[in-house]
């Protein structure tokens, strides 16, 4: 695949139109207290208030509504233990087509219930990458269902990019955007969108030091897979996808890493001071501010809060 078949601004604009009314336009919140602590003006884009509780609704909705009627009617399939699973189930139900959601058999019960509530058909498999992919191939062979990958998919990336278009529509003069990076779908989409709208803006990915494949891949210029990632931020354990990586190499300004302590402290500060629920993966961008990983003094900084789904019985400070 060459550069011309990457994520285009046209695809992003089409995604904005396609998902409008099907997902939430999320609020941008500010906090005088956090601004004072940071010495900067922080603008929190609240994807925890998105449908299904995470930004994943954007990409899944765009990808599923971009399918031809013929393709859509064969149904969709994905493998995910997390927020993408619920997003695909919801979007498929909204379009009126079946969804097959392959989940590891050690998935959190609440996440399985959520997928079922949104109308997804759950298929359990062993918790290995090989089992997930094998099961996906089997479903595709049996049903003809279309794969909606969690991040290595241009329509998914275009959908996630709309977090960036909305943020810059509302706060036009941002200097910097910080976004968590796992598979890279969200970061790549936001980077392309932001650089198109405002070429002078800086966009950084943030990831846990214990799952730093994106930082190492970015530094080396080739994908280094995530091996045995160790982090509380369960949404950021994936390896960087090929399609996202291509955009990140061109349009993202850097990747910084944060400690587990900073992630937990960031999450707690957001809960205590902003009174909103974010999951650990969603707190890493603000953790980079806490650890002073970037010079933000006096700047206007967009902080992407990616989601708010977690088990309230297992809080990281308990």
45, 51, 56, 202: the catalytic one is: 56
Radius of gyration of the chain (CA): 18
Question: What are the φ and ψ backbone dihedral angles of 150, each rounded to 5 degrees?
Answer: -65, -25
Q: Is 268 in the site for its own copies (CB under 8 A)?
A: yes
Q: Which residue has the tokens 């099907």?
A: 22
Is residue 131 part of the contact set for its own copies (CB under 8 A)?
Answer: no
Specify whether 56 is catalytic.
yes
Q: Report the distance separating Cα 218 and Cα 189, nearest Å.
A: 16
Least Å distance between CB 19 and its own copies? 16
Does position 48 bind its own copies by CB under 8 A? yes
Does residue number 49 form part of the binding site for its own copies (CB under 8 A)?
A: yes
What is the spatial distance between Cα 41 and Cα 219, in angstroms, rounded to a whole number?
29
Give the shortest CB-33-to-its own copies separation in angstroms.
9
Q: Establish if 275 lies at the interface with its own copies (CB under 8 A).
A: yes
Contact between 271 and its own copies per CB under 8 A: yes
Chain-centroid distance of CA 313 in Å reads 24
Q: Decide if residue 272 touches its own copies (CB under 8 A).
A: yes
67 DSSP assignment: S
CA distance 317 to 297: 29
* Annotation marks residue 198 as catalytic: no
Q: How far is the CB of 318 from its own copies (least distance, A)?
A: 7
Give the Cβ contact number of residue 312 at 10 Å. 7
# residues near its own copies by CB under 8 A: 17
Query: Does 313 participate in binding its own copies (rule CB under 8 A)?
Result: yes
Task: Report angle CA 258, 31, 274 to the nearest 5 degrees.
Answer: 75
Q: Which of 7, 44, 53, 145 binds its own copies (CB under 8 A)?
A: 53
Is residue 80 within 8 A of residue 103, CB to CB? The reply is yes
Q: Does 318 participate in binding its own copies (rule CB under 8 A)?
A: yes
Nearer to its own copies, 220 or 275 (CB): 275
Phi, psi of 176 (to 5 degrees): -145, 145
Binding residues vs its own copies (CB under 8 A): 27, 48-49, 53, 268, 271-272, 275-278, 308, 312-313, 315, 317-318
Query: What positions carry a catalytic annotation?
Result: 56, 81
């Amino acid at each position: 695949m060459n550069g011309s078949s990457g994520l285009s601004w046209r695809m992003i604009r089409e995604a904005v139109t396609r998902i409008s009314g099907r997902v939430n336009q999320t609020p941008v919140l500010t906090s005088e207290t956090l601004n004072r602590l940071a010495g900067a003006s922080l603008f929190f884009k609240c994807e925890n208030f998105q449908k299904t509780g995470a930004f994943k609704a954007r990409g899944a909705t765009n990808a599923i509504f971009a399918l031809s009627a013929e393709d859509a009617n064969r149904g969709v399939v994905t493998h995910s233990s997390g927020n993408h699973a619920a997003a695909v189930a919801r979007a498929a139900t909204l379009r009126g087509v079946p969804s097959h959601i392959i989940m590891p058999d050690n998935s959190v019960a609440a996440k399985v219930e959520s997928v079922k509530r949104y109308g997804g058909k759950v298929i359990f498999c062993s918790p290995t990458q090989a089992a997930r992919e094998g099961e996906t191939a089997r479903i595709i062979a049996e049903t003809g269902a279309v794969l909606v990958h969690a991040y290595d998919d241009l329509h998914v990336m275009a959908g996630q990019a709309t977090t960036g278009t909305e943020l810059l529509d509302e706060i036009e003069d941002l200097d910097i955007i910080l976004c968590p990076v796992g598979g890279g779908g969200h970061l790549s989409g936001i980077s392309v969108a932001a650089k198109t709208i405002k070429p002078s803006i800086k966009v950084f990915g943030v990831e846990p030091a214990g799952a730093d494949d994106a930082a190492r891949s970015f530094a080396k210029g080739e994908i280094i897979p995530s091996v045995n990632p160790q982090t509380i931020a369960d949404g950021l354990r994936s390896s960087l996808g090929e399609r996202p990586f291509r955009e990140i190499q061109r349009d993202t300004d850097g990747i910084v890493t944060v400690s587990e302590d900073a992630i937990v402290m960031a999450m707690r500060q957001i809960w205590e001071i902003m009174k909103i629920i974010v999951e650990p993966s969603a707190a890493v961008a603000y953790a980079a501010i806490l650890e002073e990983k970037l010079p933000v003094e006096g700047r206007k900084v967009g902080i992407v809060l990616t989601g708010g789904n977690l088990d309230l019985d297992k809080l990281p400070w308990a």
